[in-house]
């Protein structure tokens, strides 16, 4: 299974792609998408959407995992991040991919075993789990890899496997709809 993990943001968005087969993880790609502060906000969102579309086309993930926006001190930042998440989710849907969302605590628990782990602990475990010589940089990319690893390990895949992958672009009531 190939997973695209996303650490959402509108100034810097992290992405990480991993393969997970037979209990083993393998790094495929990681990096960031950065937008310029001086650009009109709609252009920043378009740049994010285009870049995510390119990443999906290039890496061919089977599904997308994204960090839920759980809490933010700054309302402007929270709204911008929410809109960037929307751009990512739209591109995933355009590619016919299912999107799974995880809270920061779920990601930390899946990667380290502790839902209150420090950022440095999560990044160290990303390095160990992917058998890398150093922690992936920048931090946003390492965080996105943690999201992908969370999906691989916890795999909210019941509906994905039962229904032969994400096929639909029509709404259907199946539980909470959160994957």
Angle subtended at Cα 89 by Cα 86 and Cα 94, rounded to the nearest 5 degrees: 120
Q: Of all residues in the chain, what percent carry a pLDDT higher than 70? A: 84
Residues with a catalytic annotation lie at 7, 67, 140
> Which class in CATH covers the domain with range 2-162?
alpha beta
Residue 169 has pLDDT above 80, yes or no: no
Residue 45 has pLDDT above 80, yes or no: yes
Mean pLDDT of 115-133: 96
Residue 156 has pLDDT above 90, yes or no: no
pLDDT given at position 72: 59
Integer Cα distance of 179 and 174 in angstroms: 9
Mean pLDDT of 93-102: 97
If pLDDT is split at 50, 70 and 90, which confidence band does 173 have? very low
pLDDT given at position 78: 86
Cα distances from 158 to residues 87, 100, 110, 148, 163, in angstroms, run: 25, 12, 17, 17, 8
In DSSP terms, 20 is beta-bridged to 25
Decide which of 127 and 71 is more confident: 127
Query: How would you label 83-108 residue by residue, b for 16+ Cβ within 10 Å and e otherwise?
Result: bbbebbbebbeebebbbbbbebebbb
Mean pLDDT of 45-54: 98
């Amino acid at each position: 299974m190939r997973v695209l993990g996303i650490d959402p943001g509108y100034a810097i968005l992290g992405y990480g792609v991993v393969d997970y087969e037979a209990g083993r993880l393998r790094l495929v790609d990681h990096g960031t998408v950065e937008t310029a502060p001086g650009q009109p906000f709609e252009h920043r969102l378009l740049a994010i959407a285009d870049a995510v579309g390119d990443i999906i086309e290039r890496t061919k993930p089977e599904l997308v995992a994204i960090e839920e926006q759980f809490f933010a001190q700054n309302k402007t930042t929270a709204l911008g991040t929410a809109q960037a998440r929307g751009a990512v989710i739209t591109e995933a849907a355009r590619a016919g991919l299912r999107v799974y969302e995880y809270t920061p605590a779920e990601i930390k628990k899946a990667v380290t075993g502790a839902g209150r782990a420090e950022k440095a602990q999560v990044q160290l475990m990303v390095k160990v789990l992917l058998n890398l010589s150093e922690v992936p940089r920048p931090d946003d990319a390492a965080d996105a890899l943690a999201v992908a690893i969370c999906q691989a390990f916890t795999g909210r895949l019941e509906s994905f496997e039962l229904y032969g992958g994400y096929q639909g672009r029509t709404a259907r009531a199946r539980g909470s709809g959160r994957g």
